[in-house]
Structure 1
């Protein structure tokens, strides 16, 4: 399958089975996903894999962030969760927004690779990604931010094609605006003649 075909076939999978890639399989895909464009090769990102009881710890942290008494069951919807972390580096050349774009690029690339490898993937976010309780549960440093989780599992059999409308690229790809024509300045002799005529 070509890269174009893989991208066209990709779709988010909200319900997955208990099948998940092994750590070795995951590391192989992450090594490929890490090849995204990265100004100064800072690698301003890291990933945290959550399996088994890790997901219950996350559920408790989400509940704390939202003020709920019962742990959230959302993290139990997939056998593997991959936390996407923007891990900012000090740089005079590369601003924070660009480093976050790199981390997002890795997540998107990894979701595509997982999908192409036969796994269902859904990128979940939420306001609690910025909560102290959730950050603490993930062991984030002071220069790190959580961008969400890739929920990964097996693709259910008999899955129907997605309902997303095709992208009309014609309305999204434009050209640089042409500069407005500037009036041609009059020659100095002509300006002088006009001034003398008025006098």
Structure 2
């Protein structure tokens, strides 16, 4: 299910079961609440992101259960002012920012709060993915992770600045503009 250019709306108390691809995709969505949602797909199902968003702002995700074969929540370029609370994630790849830096003109990701979240049986918990040879200069800032519980998680905190989903990757010789991380607070 996709939402593009939607403002001042919400999704409440629905279930998405066994989607063949990503469950909920958001692009340029602002002031949107997601609450009481259940998202389920087998842990080995590829490309079944639970919630994926890019160029979004002022979104709130709460009281939601997500178990997929990909990211529980994927946060892409240009997303700001995102609040995630009381979410259960697993199976899946955790709550991921990125991948970032693959394309030119990508935008900063800032003001992310993740609190009161349980990761259970995920490959990753908190994850940030950036391409090694970034095509954009991006700032990732003002992230707060608070009261996070990890149960049987492969990599609880994973900051991957050489993201390469399908090795071998060719790393071009060029000037690399590094992704900058600023003001990250983690209280686990």
TM-score, normalisation: structure 2:
0.23
| Larger RCO (CA within 8 A; separation ≥ 6) | 1
TM-score, normalisation: structure 1:
0.22
Q: Which structure's CA Rg is the greater one?
A: 1
